[in-house]
Amino acid sequence: MSDIFKARQEKLDLLRGKGIDPFGGRFPVSSQIKDLITPFREGAKAVIAGRITAKRKHGKSVFCDLRDESSRIQIYLKDDILGKKDFDIFDSAVDIGDIIGVKGELFKTRTGEPTLKAEGFTLLAKSLRPLPEKWHGLKDVETRYRQRYLDLIVNSRVKEIFRTRSSIIKNMRSILDAKGYLEVETPMMQPIPGGAAGKPFKTHHEALDMDLYLRVAPEIYLKKLLVGGFEKVYEINKSFRNEGISTRHNPEFTMLEAYTAYGDCEGAMELTKELITESARKVLGGTKLKYQGREIDLDKWEEVSFARIMEQRYGIGPDEEEAEWIRKLKKKGIEIDGKDISRTQLINIIADLLEPKADHPVFVIDMFKDLCPLAKVKKDAPLLTDRFELFIGGIEVANAYSELNDPIEQRDRFKEQAEGGRIDEDFVRALEYGMPPAGGLGIGVDRIVMLFTDSASIRDVILFPQLRKESQTTQPGEEADGRA
């Protein structure tokens, strides 16, 4: 690798010695490559730019493959067309991986290959490192995530995953906009982390001399907007949790949260169905998808009672202390780490119980009051809340409830949950001014993208996922070993 790096540096020096800028500036592209191929117009002139992904010499001519974001096309360069000086520069100093601009005329070779006959080229960026040899040259998973730019260059499927991600978000935004929801932005740094269970990241603001936390959810601020008179609001937000990393958890993740004044959990359920099924129709072309070998039907939705399955399977009721939960779960062979049941452990337990139903979406309702400090209780069952968690393909993808808008009860719930921590007095004060009854919804965007793209890990659908430190410092011309 170091020999190749040095050789390309020498070519860089050679180009500069000839007065050629190896890292050129603005280049007036006339079209993307895909627009030259379909429809193909023989004899048409074009100016394109992209990365060289293959290079083949035949006597006094060179063929190379040029790829831009849209597609690939063959480029034909000949010494008597370019001129000997420019042809020799291309032949000797331009490599696979370099980014060039080309102007020329379209034609088809004897084999029918759409080709651009180069009449001139401009070097736009000299690549000092060689590209991997197709896929087998970038098979280490950690290297793929760490060097996502390289992953995108050599793996077209990865590009499609992130195009799909963009389409999902765009479609969900379009649905909410059409329904009259207002897109807003709320603070990422908060004096009191709230709105969801999770350990926050902590920082300190020097000028204000105060501790702040990266938000674990935007919920509290969005509900304050309902108090202020906005009736339909949503935010596609980044949230942060200082917890473990796994195939379904990244410390930084994307949520869609939407709040509807004068609504409830049932209304949030209908909105959830629409957002997911309509996005599937728009992005996938239908409501059937495959995830990790499993067929999932988004036309079939079911409701399952959490309280009922916990009673039937484990003998656990909503009035029992957590210590009793743990005793009964362990008796049934469920492993519990530590003295408390984490949200992740609880989700895994629910997912295991729902495994036979993983071929269609399942709303888990009747959650225990102690698990839901911000949700209204059910009128006919005061130890249960009017809430759902949505599971698709064994993955928890959404959470919603009828929002608690009673300030007195909210303060009492906070006190029960506080365990020595602070109560968000400003949120309680906001409720004291009056918040309309509302339905609140949170959808895990990353996990929806996992389902729609058949991706096993959340890191496959986040462009730059959080990773451990590299195990070594790489020098110019050397590759990281990719281990974490």
Domains and CATH numbers, the chain: 2-125 (2.40.50.140), 153-460 (3.30.930.10)
Residues 355 and 394: beta-carbon distance below 8 Å: yes
Hey, which residues does 389 pair with through a beta bridge?
A: 364, 399
Kindly report the pTM of this predicted structure: 0.91
Q: Tell me, what's the pLDDT at 340?
A: 73
Per-residue pLDDT reduced to its tens digit, 48-71:
999 999 999 998 899 999 999 999
At 340, which amino acid appears? D
Pairing of strands 99-108, 45-58: antiparallel
Q: Tell me, what's the pLDDT at 62?
A: 97
Per-residue pLDDT reduced to its tens digit, 235-256:
999 999 998 888 888 999 999 9
Closest to 77 in 3D by CA, of 49, 98, 56:
56
Pairing of strands 189-190, 210-214: antiparallel
Cis omega (within 30 of 0) on the bond before 193?
A: no
Which tokens go with 219?
């919920």
Q: What number of other Cβ atoms are within 10 A of residue 306's Cβ? A: 22
Q: What number of other Cβ atoms are within 10 A of residue 324's Cβ? A: 13
Q: Tell me, what's the pLDDT at 448?
A: 98
Between residues 88 and 468, which one has the greater pLDDT?
88
Closest to 429 in 3D by CA, of 403, 402, 411:
411
Mean pLDDT to the nearest integer, 74-100: 96
| Adjacency order of strands within the sheet including 202-205 | 189-190, 210-214, 202-205
Give the confidence band of 139 by pLDDT, cuts at 50, 70, 90: low
Give the confidence band of 224 by pLDDT, cuts at 50, 70, 90: very high
Write the CA distances from 108 to 41, 50, 52, 76, integer angstroms: 10, 20, 19, 10
Question: Of the given ranges (45-49, 163-167, 316-320), which has the lowest mean pLDDT?
Answer: 316-320
Residues 172 and 275: beta-carbon distance below 8 Å: yes
Percent of the chain with pLDDT over 70: 94
Which tokens go with 359?
């071929």
Residue 182 in this model has a pLDDT that exceeds 70: yes
Closest to 168 in 3D by CA, of 73, 332, 289:
289
Per-residue pLDDT reduced to its tens digit, 427-469:
999 999 999 999 999 999 999 999 999 999 999 999 999 988 8
377: part of which helix (H) or strand (E)?
A: strand 377-378
- 442, 443, 446, 450 alpha-carbon torsion, rounded to 10°: 150
Q: Tell me, what's the pLDDT at 482?
A: 30
Residue 324 in this model has a pLDDT that exceeds 70: yes
Report the largest interatomic distance among the alpha carbons of the chain, rounded to a whole angstrom: 87
Based on its alpha-carbon atoms, the radius of gyration of the chain, rounded to whole angstroms, reads 28
Between CA 108 and CA 110 the distance in angstroms is: 7
Average pLDDT of the chain, as a whole number: 91
